Structure 1
Amino acid sequence: MTWPAVPALSTVTERLPLIFPEGVENRQYCIRESTAKTVLTMIYCGAIHGSNRWIRPSQVVDMSDTQLALSSHAEREAWCVYMHSNKKKERSPKAWYAVNSREQIRDENIARGLIPNQAVIERPGIPTTSSRPKYALQPEFSALFDESIQGEFLAAAISDWQLRFLSAAAMARATIIRNNAVASTDRVPVVFPSGSAITLAPGESSRITKAVVEQFSRYFLVQPAVLWLSESANKVIDPTLVHALHLHIDQSKSLPDVILVDLSPASGDILVVFVEVVHTDGPISQQRKEALEAIALEAGFETEHLAYVTAFSDRSASPYRGLAHNLAWDSFVWFASEPVNIIMLRSDSQKKLSQLR
């Protein structure tokens, strides 16, 4: 049985973020250093599906740079046999991780990251609680760490693997995120539902704002209009609409990034949607929601005709993961990378489900 060549750890570390682009489910578990070491240990042990070789998480935590340097087939085989034996193991003082790290390797890197994204295969018929080795790399995935493949050939191989093995939803999210990141130094054109347009300053916040105006409004409102839009270089207000709705918008107040309205006669009363665009901070927390409601009541709105939305770039992005616990109940969360989907934070006070109303 042949043994695969062992790449440098730096090679695995550099390639994982290319293989798993932003937008991939649980990407953080697929690209971190401990995942790179998990993949490298599998390659070292020849644990490629079809070879009948498997590893267990304890091998990752017990691996060391010293052991990795013992690269002959006989040395690799001897270590794997020893690690799978029932003998009491002497751990290297330079082992990569503490013994209690194996649950993180198993539950996060492998179970939440690599297996769902079809990079690792779990040996069938092995009970969950068993200590028997049961994880191996998917062969086409392991081939992506062949150091003889470089440049455009590597890019083509990664692209082919992504199309074959990553989900269509993951690739759609990745494409949207990648497209939004293009030309990050260019000003961002935004077309309103009315057909008028403005340009915003370069940056991630402007790209999320563009998505809110052009996509969110189209998917979730029947007859959308932009009442207010604010960013560093622009304060856009529709005076005709404000006058027609008999509203008072005090621009000295701490207004949200975007205020949308749904003017659809078929929907009954007008719906007003306060949207906070979050790139780093500033979601609709409970305190922020109460402040916006106070501004709305002063402006002439009614509570039952208000909705609150926090807009992020993507579910996997750090701003959402870091701020999710601050989001207000009875508000919505929307992601530019998944424009047709929305999260509703529904409290017990909400007696029935509906659309944004």
Structure 2
Amino acid sequence: MMALLTREEVHARLQVIFPDGSPNRAYLTRMLAASTVFVALYIDAIEGNGTYLGPKHVYRMTNEQAAQIDDASRAAYSAGVLRTGTQIEGRRWYQDNTREPIRDETLREGLVAIGAVTERTDLATTSSKPRYALKASFAALFDPALTGEALQARITAWQAEALNKGALARLAIVRRGAGVSTDQVLVTFPNGETRRMKPGPSSEITRAVMEVFAPTFLTDPAVVFLSESGNKVVARDDELARSIGLAIQADKNLPDTILVDLGPAHPLLVFVEVVATDGPISQRRKEALEELVAEAGFPAEHVAFVTAYLDRSAGPFKKTVDSLAWGSYAWFAAEPERLVVFSEAHRGLNGRP
């Protein structure tokens, strides 16, 4: 059997293997996932070894048992925990009702879905026999002898092999957006003009709004207004605003970006708030913006509200999702072809929204 990291060390390593932007990252990096991976390694449930993991192996584990790392103790636990009446020394890590989260979230929707765990296909779905094993290439990432640059190189190689192109692209976008740079961010507008903005995550998200969101979701996009932190106005097109019947006044309620879609018969005004840490389009902000356009005489039915984030698995979205206004949208730079709709409609559900 391979040497073991501690459960805490497995937990820390999972944060590196599945960084921000990883699909279902919460399921893959929480302590329950670390417990599952640790126990799989403990009982040698690794692809090709003939041993398989079941949820019971995880929720019956104890600190005392985990400390017994000789091969005989590990093999005895693997087989014994499945037998009725077997007593395991110490206080178990989890109760029996953790079975479903281990099976459904950590394994099926997390580690199996992303390609880190294999599942037996020769068992009936109703069978209680263990059916999961770590893929050998994934298990190798938890070799205690693997550290530093060698570990990072192995993780990068595993990600390139195991993750699909969409997942890899999402990771790349998130890494770029979350990175620290001293260089100004060059933003290209829909009409080809460029502006430079302060370095930082907000500017990276703004660039994605201009270069990806606008051409994806608007027919003929144009920039009416753009600002950055410190209330610095980066771009302002009063002539365009007047041509569509909108009078823009400097106002504390103005969002980071105002776009307009000139494609429809009646232009669509799009208010976009960029969130790198806080400040989404909440109900209060939406109502203030609705008052602003009403005073300008712009029809409310031709106004859209969008909060733009880097990634939905990261903290800013989780922190602010409960304050997002109904009747608005959320967009993520890491998943640029998707929109989350907070619908105010009172109609029934459709088969596919």
TM-score (normalizing by structure 1)? 0.88
Quick check: 2:53–2:131 contact (8 Å CA) kept in 1? yes
* Partners of 1:314 and 1:268 in 2: CA distance: 33
Q: What's 1:48 paired with?
A: 46
Would the aligned equivalents of 2:272 and 2:307 in 1 still touch at CA under 8 Å? Answer: yes
Cα separation, 1, equivalents of 2:201 and 2:224? 22
In structure 2, distance between residues paired with 1:179 and 1:334 = 17
In the TM superposition, 1:211-230 aligns within 5 A as 211-230=208-227
The answer to whether 1:262 aligns with 2:300 is no
Following TM superposition, by how much is the alpha carbon of 1:335 offset from its aligned partner in structure 2, in angstroms? 0.7
Task: State the distance in 1 between where 2:11 and 2:252 align.
Answer: 47
Unaligned runs of 5+ in 2: none
The answer for unaligned runs of 5 or more in structure 1 is none
Distance 1:201 1:350, change over 3 A: farther
Distance in 2 between residues matched to 1:118 and 1:132, nearest whole Å: 21
Give the drift of 1:272: 0.8
Decide whether the 8 Å contact of 1:84 with 1:133 is kept in 2: no
Q: CA deviation at 1:26?
A: 0.5
- What's the offset of the Cα at 1:27? 0.6
Give the share of equivalent positions with the same residue, in percent.
44
Partner of 2:285: 288
Who is 1:180 aligned against? 177
Could you say what the CA RMSD is over the residues aligned between the two structures, in angstroms? 2.4
The answer to whether the 8 Å contact 1:114/1:120 transfers is: yes
Once residues 256 and 166 of structure 1 are traced to their aligned partners in structure 2, the CA distance between those partners, rounded to angstroms, is 36
Structure 1 position 148, deviation (Å): 2.4
- What is the aligned counterpart of 1:204 among 180, 201, 223? 201
- 1:23 maps to 21
Deviates more, 1:269-278 or 1:90-99: 90-99
Conserved in 1, the CA contact under 8 Å of 2:138 and 2:158? yes
Aligned-partner Cα distance in 2 for 1:160–1:246:
54
Q: Does 1:131 align with 2:112?
A: no
Aligned residue for 2:94, secondary structure, equals coil
Aligned residue in 2 for 1:59: 57
| Alignment partner, residue 337 of structure 1 | 334
Cα distance in structure 1, aligned partners of 2:177 and 2:58: 37
1:140 aligns to what SS in structure 2? helix
Distance 1:186 1:32 in 2: 34
Query: Contact 1:38/1:60 (CA < 8 Å) preserved in 2?
Result: yes
DSSP 3-state at the match of 1:334: strand
Q: Deviations over 1:219-254 (max 9, x none)?
A: 222322211122223124222223333432121351
Measure the CA separation in 1 of the matches of 2:78 and 2:245. Answer: 76
Q: Which moved more, 1:206-215 or 1:237-246?
A: 237-246
Answer with 66-75 or 167-176: which moved more: 66-75
Aligned residues: 347
TM-score normalised to structure 2 length: 0.89
- The equivalent of 1:247 in structure 2 is 246
Single out whichever of 279-288 and 63-72 deviates more from structure 2.
279-288
Q: 1:240 & 1:12 partners in 2: Cα distance?
A: 58
